[in-house]
Structure 1
Amino acid sequence: MHMTWKKAATLALKFAIPVAIIAWLANHIDWAQLSAQPKDYRLLACALAVAMIGLSLSFARWCLLVRCQGIALSMVEAFRLGSIGFLLNFVSAGSVGGDLFKAIFLAKQRPGKRIEAVASVFVDRGVGLFGLLLLVAFGLMLVQPSQSTEIDREQMQQIKAATAILTTVGTVVLCGLVFGGKGVDRLVRWGSQLAIVGPVVAKIGPPLRMFHAHPIAFLVSIVMSLGVHASMILSMYLIACGLYSDPPTLIEHFVIVPIGMLAAAMPITPAGLGVYEATIEWLYRIVPANPTSASGTLVALVFEIVKVAMATIGTVFYWTSSEELRESVEEAEEAEDGDEHNDGDEPNDPAIEMKQA
């Protein structure tokens, strides 16, 4: 009711872009060929079940990381907040909306642990991305993409180089912060005083250093991240097998799907819609050693339907939620639209801290 024309235009644009991309991609699908071949609906049902297992594992990972920050959180509450957060990812650019909501609500529930609450969500996202990078690196080691054109070869080489650099840097930084001694603490304090990267170091460093007391839990969270992404990859592979007789192999999907997920994580469209499909379609053309008739666009679209089906759980939780939880959702939406402000009364506003991070 209070939506301004600027908010309305922004919201319309958020959804218009992915719809246009998906419409363009769908126009290039051979629907006649798809309808003519048999489909295995049992595999499609298994794909939904496997994706649900992966999503549940991601909620459990966040619960573990929250507890490592010294915040009490039950597994049931983690699943409730995680489900609503997953739902909110579909109405925000990229996948930030759900993270904002979880940070805001958790910070309100634990006023003395605001920084830790924001940090738990930030670390959860970082651990997830690191696990994704590990899977991309693993897949690229096992698969040699066919790379049909010079441009494709060059782009794949760039992806390999970027993956190697990011994985190496991420491993060194995480190992130093989690397993390092007092010298690392001094380095974090020094880095927090630097001009450009100082604020970022000040926000990321201390929360990650808290895992120095929980190294086993941190390693478990990384293993859980691998399990989350492996479940999503297997779900995509089952969808491809359910729709086509000659899809890319499971190992090839370990290259295709993580790269697509990394592209979808960029804050361009709601839940990465459109960007994800376009990336998967491109990778379906250049990665498989044997040419496939499978449409990466269609497989990705069906996977998006699976995600929407999982998001309905968040809808149920939202309908039965408390007023405080609904207020946190509204605050997260306002923060996404750039309407949040800090008037000086709350210097540690979780919405502002999360957006800055």
Structure 2
Amino acid sequence: MPSLSRTTRSRIVVAAKLTLGLGLIGALLWQAVRHEAFARISQQPKDWTLLGLALACCAVAVLISFLRWFCVARAGGVPLSVGEAGRLGALGFALNFVSLGSVGGDLFKAVFFARRHPGLRTAAVTTIVVDRALGLLILLIMCACGVLASGAAASQDAGVRIVAQLALGVGGVLTVAAALAFLPALSGPLAAAALRRIPLAGELAAEALIAWRAYRKRPGWLFGASVLTVAMHSLFTVSFYLIAAGLPLKHPGVADHFVIVPLALAAGGLLPLPNGLGSVEAVVELFYRALTGAIGDGTIVALTHRFAMLLLGAAAACFYVSNRAALVVDEDDAPTKAD
């Protein structure tokens, strides 16, 4: 029997992930319908002001993510302007929904950015990897703070307890790994030489390690990016709460959402499902049930937030299309050195 090509295997994996995510959402929706959660929404008034504020919070959070990438690029010595970060960030954000995953959007962003700076391709791609890793690391630190403050790791609800303990464990491991990455001995010439001996990807890994060294020289930019990340995740958290408050549903308080939402977003970022499809909704539903006893309300809140992000994705696509001419510039006009 002939073996499947790499492209075919990749498509099968993507289809399986998409099926799993949609199946999980389908199961959650079925439970919500059974317990008349949708009936309550359709029959009772909604606070459109709060829902509009939730959309605004999401929009500002997305804009902050573009600015964070700018700071990360400057930390790595890559000459990325704020305008270019906004345009390429909008492209990547919009393509997240087309490619069904944030990694897909980042890939397109990396390709366009590398074309803009052909002499800095490895450094340019490294900025995107560091940007994504920083966002996840700060999110897990926020998870740990929320779990420790709320005592969720000792919850009587088994599901809540497991999710909280897993977040603490993964967050601790990644925090230690991030601290080790700043040790000169682990990113020096000997480490780069060792990476080069790895078959196939060794040379690329060594170049990425060399590019990473630049980040230790500009800690101020990384600190600024970290602060922006906290602001971004906080706005997303508030947007979930505003959606819950704007809909006729039972919902936890705003402080509880600073435990629920970071955990849900971390699950979406860590589990191999397209755009966190199903995993975010499942975690929000789990905590809503544990805290309010209502079935289906958490699913509706999470799906409403996903719809808001889809609207912003469409807006980002329109913004990029209307401004793409600004990216077509002569290489002589492009800066060659970061400030």
Q: Specify the TM-score bucket, using the shorter chain as the normaliser.
A: 0.7 to 0.9
How much does 1:260 deviate? 1.3
Instruction: Kindly tell me the number of residue pairs found equivalent between the two proteins.
Output: 316
Amino acid at match of 2:168: K
The answer for the alignment partner of 2:213 in structure 1 is 209
Partner residue, 1:107: 114
Unaligned 5+ residue runs, structure 1?
327-357
Does the Cα contact within 8 Å between 2:66 and 2:85 map onto a contact in 1? yes
TM-superposition CA deviations, 1:119-148 (whole Å, max 9, x none): 111111111111111111111121123734
Which residue pairs with 2:331 in the alignment? Answer: none
Structure 2 residue 171 is the aligned partner of structure 1 residue 173 = no
Q: What's the secondary structure of 2:80's corresponding residue?
A: coil
Residue 76 (structure 1) shift: 1.8
Partner letter of residue 236 of structure 1? Answer: F
Tell me which amino acid in the other structure corresponds to 2:177.
Answer: V
For the 8 Å contact 2:40–2:248, the answer to whether it is kept is no
For residue 309 of structure 1, what is the amino acid of its counterpart?
L
Question: Aligned ranges for residues 259-298 of structure 1 at < 5 Å?
Answer: 259-266=263-270, 268-286=272-290, 288=291, 291=293, 295-298=297-300
Distance 1:280 1:261 in 2: 9
Distance 2:170 2:115 in 1: 38
- How do residues 14-53 of structure 1 correspond to structure 2 at under 5 angstroms? 15-29=18-32, 30-53=37-60
- Residues 108-127 of structure 1: matches in 2 within 5 Å? 108-127=115-134
Aligned residue identity for 2:309 = K
Cα displacement (A) at 1:275: 2.2
Deviates more, 1:94-103 or 1:293-302: 293-302
**Whole-Å Cα distance in 1 between the matches of residues 223 and 180 of structure 2?**
14
- Where does 1:182-221 land on structure 2 (aligned, <5 Å)? 185-186=188-189, 188-189=191-192, 192=195, 202-221=206-225
Q: Is the 8 A contact 2:64 2:232 kept in 1?
A: yes
Alignment check: 8 A CA contact 1:281 1:297 kept? yes
Q: How does 1:1-357 map to 2 (within 5 A)?
A: 15-29=18-32, 30-145=37-152, 147-150=155-158, 152-170=160-178, 172-174=179-181, 176-177=182-183, 180=184, 185-186=188-189, 188-189=191-192, 192=195, 202-244=206-248, 246-266=250-270, 268-286=272-290, 288=291, 291=293, 295-320=297-322
Q: SS at the partner of 1:38? A: coil
Unaligned runs of 5+ in 2: 1-6, 329-339
What secondary structure is seen at the aligned counterpart in 2 of 1:27?
A: helix
RMSD of aligned Cα (Å) = 3.3
Q: What TM-score, normalized to structure 1?
A: 0.77
Cα distance per residue 1:284-325 (max 9 Å; x no partner):
233x3x645671110000000110111012221454465998
Cα distance change on mapping 1:43 and 1:193 into 2, 3 Å: same
Work out whether residues 75 and 219 of structure 2, in 8 Å CA contact, stay in contact via their aligned partners in 1: no
Q: Deviations over 1:157-190 (max 9, x none)?
A: 33333333333433x225x25xx5x785256436
Assess if the C-alpha contact under 8 Å between 2:89 and 2:109 holds in 1: yes
Question: Taking structure 1 as reference, are residues 39 and 203 closer, same or farther at Cα in structure 2, changes over 3 Å only?
Answer: farther
Which residue identity is paired with 1:300? A
Offset, 1:7: 8.5
* Percent of aligned positions that are identical: 34
Q: How far apart are residue 272 of structure 1 and its match?
A: 1.9
CA distance, structure 1, for counterparts of residue 100 and residue 317 of structure 2:
19
Residues in 2 aligned to 1:203 and 1:219: alpha-carbon distance in whole angstroms: 24
Structure 2 equivalent of residue 349 of structure 1: none
The separation in 1 between residues aligned to 2:111 and 2:167, in whole angstroms, is: 35
For residue 23 of structure 1, what is the amino acid of its counterpart?
G
Deviation at 1:266, TM superposition (A): 3.9
Alpha-carbon separation, structure 1, partners of 2:15 and 2:327: 26
Q: Take 1:43 and 1:220, find their aligned partners in 2: how far apart are those partners?
A: 30
C-alpha distance 312-161 of structure 1, shift in aligned 2 (>3 A): same
Q: 1:205 offset after TM fit, Å?
A: 2.9
Amino acid across the alignment from 1:248: P
Is this contact kept in 2: 1:246–1:294, CA < 8 A? Answer: no
- The structure carrying a bigger helix percent of its residues is 2
CA contact (8 A) 1:62 1:124 kept: yes
Q: Which amino acid aligns with 1:173?
A: L
Task: Output the TM-score relative to the length of structure 2.
Answer: 0.81
Q: Structure 1 residues 15 and 42 mapped into 2: Cα distance closer, same or farther (>3 Å)? A: same
